[in-house]
Amino acid sequence: MDLVTAEEMRQLDRTTIEKLGIPAIALMENAGRAIAEEVIALCRRRQYNSGNSVHADAGHGSDWGMESDIVRRGSNGGSVTGGTGRSIGGGWNGSSGVSGGAQPPQEFRVSADRALTLDHAAAEHWLILAGKGNNGGDGLAAARHLREAGLAVTLVYAAAPQTLAGEAAVQRDAAAALGIPAVVHGRDRIDFAGCTGIVDALLGTGSAGEPRGAYADLIAAANASGKPIVSADIPSGLDADTGALHEPCIHAAVTVCLALLKRGLVQYPGAGAAGRVVVRSIGIPAALAREAGVQASLLTPEVLQTRLGVDVSRRRSPEGHKGTYGHVLLAAGSLSMSGAGLLAARAALRAGCGLVTWALPAALLPYVIGAAPEIMLAAAGGGEDGTWNAETAAEVLRLGGKRDVVATGPGLGRFAGDREWLRMLWEGISSPLVLDADALNILAECNYTEWSSPGRPVILTPHPGEMARLAGVSTPQVQRDRIGLAQAYAVKHSVVLVLKGSHTVIASPEGEVYVNATGHPGMGTGGAGDVLTGMIAGLLAQGMDAVQAAAFGVYLHGLAGERAAGSRNHPSALIAGDMIEAL
């Protein structure tokens, strides 16, 4: 599923309208209908949850989108009737009065739009908050469909209706011709308390900066009403590209995202303001996105398989042996943080690699013997106090030269000469390199783009604080546009970047971006990142390329977190080791 910026969406709109010849009003009609269907789906869920309408949902299958024909066949006198109970053509009896039975019975099929049908519709009264751009036009089109379905609707114009132009003005006139009641902000009283729900069609991808004037008033009043809000395309007040929230911003129960998923809907805090996000096609061919150079996508199993070429079933050859699945060298852990190395090493094995050698300060080695018997240990020298020192680089280089992957950073600590230590690894290791934790903090102090490189991939896995140090910005700046920052950094520094956090972003040196959607808030626990480092290294060792391993590692890590959180009495009890066991 592609992720677009507002500008990319505008380009795709233009291509569809100008090159394919699809009229803009047709797109708006589709948008309006999709929004109306999602309003009705929400009403159904609400009825169902309030317990008075098991009947209302019965027979509807899923929320929407399933065609439901009403068929009456005279041949056996029986009828199959859908939930709406509409039927035609009854009374024909094939066995009486038709000689020879040669004529097949005539069949009538009437498609009842279940997605636009709601029992007890008259109990609903929705306010449609309409801005003066195309987002408002979408809302006005939705209003017509809702009214057709029997819901009461009142239009609430943010600006004088005569200021609407283009397709939005067409929708305004159609609504007026049908006699749909309308009020105007600043002129009429708006009864938020009396409505059962609100469609937010104030601002979409054309909005810029903080909502002003009437828009700000209506957003604040809608939020304060406590009524469920269905947003058209994006919650008004959200930055569609970054997920930043302007003040005020709609807090939606459902966002009906039109055509393609906007980046701001998968980045926090925007993701939190959008509620349930439903992406609905409106006639803009999805294939246009890649042709237009869209490079970001949501990391779904389909994207993993078709776009990244990952064998998500991870088939193993019956002839395979431990040598088939690769050997990871992990240089990690120090006395006070030896567990970080242990977690990463165990996670690499659980990710399926054949062998893991854990290089660690020699003084520490006796204490970890037997902690995980599957792991091979290598003493890398270091201080008597179980810390790393600059001289250990030679041994790590020697060990790493024979391995398929080298990962370092978890529990490494800082030490005198660590920049030169990392430089030697960077320049001397010719297999893929995974850098995490303190290795990133060291890197942040180096001008590493000037280092020579043997031309192998490097994967960096920073959390937002480490990313801030790497990029020389503040942590809030990192979080303000995670996708944009990760993409720019990966391209500029020719690395695969894994920017961790809720909805981890994976960016490639070519500018491809994947946003992960697996995971659980319970994963915010010490060692979770070490587990991810180990997993990515373990997947690399099995022959995946760097982007595949980073993306699939992040995806599986999130799934393991979800599973592990679900297996505790409370998700907050989750600890990093549980994720390894859930792999």
Ligand X SMILES: NC(=O)C1=CN([C@@H]2O[C@H](COP(=O)(O)OP(=O)(O)OC[C@H]3O[C@@H](n4cnc5c(N)ncnc54)[C@H](O)[C@@H]3O)[C@@H](O)[C@H]2O)[C@@H](O)CC1
- Binding site feature residues: 134-138, 200, 204-210, 215, 233, 236, 340, 411, 463, 500-504, 529-530
Report how far apart the first and last C-alpha atoms of the chain are (Å, whole number). 25
Half-sphere exposure of 77 (CA within 13 A, CB side): 3
Kindly report whether the peptide bond that precedes residue 248 is cis, defined as omega within 30 degrees of 0.
yes
Stretch that binds ligand X, among 107-115, 202-210, 392-400, 528-536 (CB under 6 A): 202-210
Q: Report how far residue 83's alpha carbon sits from residue 67's, in angstroms, rounded to the nearest whole number.
A: 12
Sites for ligand X among residues 136-155 (CB under 6 A): 136-138
Q: How many residues bind ligand X (CB under 6 A)?
A: 29
Residues listed for the chain = 583
H or E stretch including 330?
A: strand 327-331
Query: Residue 212 binds which entry of ligand X, K ion, none, with Cβ cut-offs from 5 to 8 Å by kind?
Result: ligand X
Residues in binding site for AMP = 500-504, 529
Selected range binding K ion among 10-18, 183-191, 192-200, 296-304, rule: CB under 5 A: 192-200
Question: Considering the complex, what minimum distance in angstroms separates the CB of residue 295 from ligand X?
Answer: 21
Helix (H, G, I), strand (E, B) or coil at 462: coil
Token pair listed for 42: 């929400």
Sign of CA dihedral 562, 566, 567, 570: positive
- Residue 63: phi and psi, rounded to 5, are -60, -45
Instruction: Calculate the CA 527 to chain-centre distance.
Output: 24
* Residue 427: count of CB within 10 angstroms of its CB: 14
Q: What is the per-residue binding string for ligand X in 208-227, x denoting contact by CB under 6 A?
A: xxxxx--x------------
> Sheet holding 68-72: strands in order across?
79-80, 68-72, 108-112
**Among 5, 117, 154, 231, which residue interacts with K ion (rule: CB under 5 A)?**
231
- One character per residue 259-298, x = contact with ligand X (rule: CB under 6 A): -----------------------x----------------
Beta bridge partners of 328: 356, 405
C-alpha distances out from residue 356 to 239, 321, 428, 447, 578, Å: 44, 14, 20, 31, 20
Residues belonging to the binding site for K(+) are: 135, 200, 236
If one asks whether residue 157 binds ligand X (CB under 6 A), the answer comes out as no
For ligand X, the closer CB: 8 or 438 = 8
SS3 102: coil
- Nearest approach, Cβ of 152 to ligand X (angstroms)? 23
Could you tell me which residues are beta bridge partners of residue 345?
none
Show the CA angle centred on residue 498, arms to residues 256 and 349, nearest 5°.
115
**Does the protein bind ligand X through residue 27 (CB under 6 A)?**
yes
Running DSSP on this structure, what letter comes out for residue 238? B
Q: Annotated binding residues for (6S)-NADPHX, as ranges? A: 134-138, 204-210, 215, 233, 340, 411, 463, 530
Cβ-based nearer residue to ligand X, 4 or 112: 4
**Angle ∠(212,197,240) on CA atoms, nearest 5:** 45
Binding partner of residue 468 among ligand X, K ion, none, CB cut-off 5 to 8 Å per kind:
none
Among candidate residues 374, 394, 351, 387, the one with its CA nearest the CA of residue 536: 351
Given the rule CB under 6 A, which of 125-133, 318-326, 370-378, 453-461 is the region that contacts ligand X? 125-133
**C-alpha span between 164 and 171 (Å, rounded):** 9
Binding of ligand X by 489 (CB under 6 A): no
138 binds, among K ion, ligand X, none (CB under 5 to 8 A by kind): ligand X
From the list 69-77, 135-143, 536-544, 545-553, the region that binds ligand X by CB under 6 A is 135-143
Peptide bond into 269 cis (omega under 30): yes
The site string for ligand X over 354-373 (x = CB under 6 A, - otherwise) reads: --------------------
408 part of the interface to ligand X, by CB under 6 A:
no
Window contacting ligand X (CB under 6 A); options: 197-205, 357-365, 499-507, 536-544:
197-205
Tokens of 342: 């242990």
The beta strands (E) that lie in 355-432 are given as 355-360, 376-379, 405-408
Helix, strand, coil percent content, the chain, rounded in steps of 5: 40, 15, 45
User: Of 74, 82, 83, 133, which lies in the binding site for ligand X, with binding defined by CB under 6 A?
Assistant: 133
Number of residues that bind K ion (CB under 5 A): 4
Indicate which single residue of 134, 154, 236, 357 sits in contact with K ion (rule: CB under 5 A).
236
Residue number, 131 or 411, with CB nearest to ligand X: 131
Question: Pick from 1, 11, 15, 24: which binds ligand X (CB under 6 A)?
Answer: 24
d(CA 556, CA 564): 12
Nearer to ligand X, 233 or 404 (CB): 233
* 13 sits near ligand X (criterion: CB under 6 A): yes
DSSP letter at 402 equals: T
231 binds, among ligand X, K ion, none (CB under 5 to 8 A by kind): K ion
The answer to whether the beta carbons of residues 535 and 557 sit under 8 Å apart is yes
Mark 41-80 with x for binding to ligand X (rule: CB under 6 A) and - for no binding: ----------------------------------------
Residue from 112, 170, 232, 380 binding K ion (CB under 5 A)? 232
Question: Least CB distance from residue 41 to ligand X, whole Å?
Answer: 19
Distance of CA 258 to the CA centre of its chain: 15
Tell me if 207 contacts ligand X by CB under 6 A: yes
Binding site for K ion (CB under 5 A): 200, 231-232, 236
Residues making contact with ligand X (CB under 6 A): 13, 17, 24, 27-28, 31, 131-138, 203-212, 215, 232-233, 258, 282
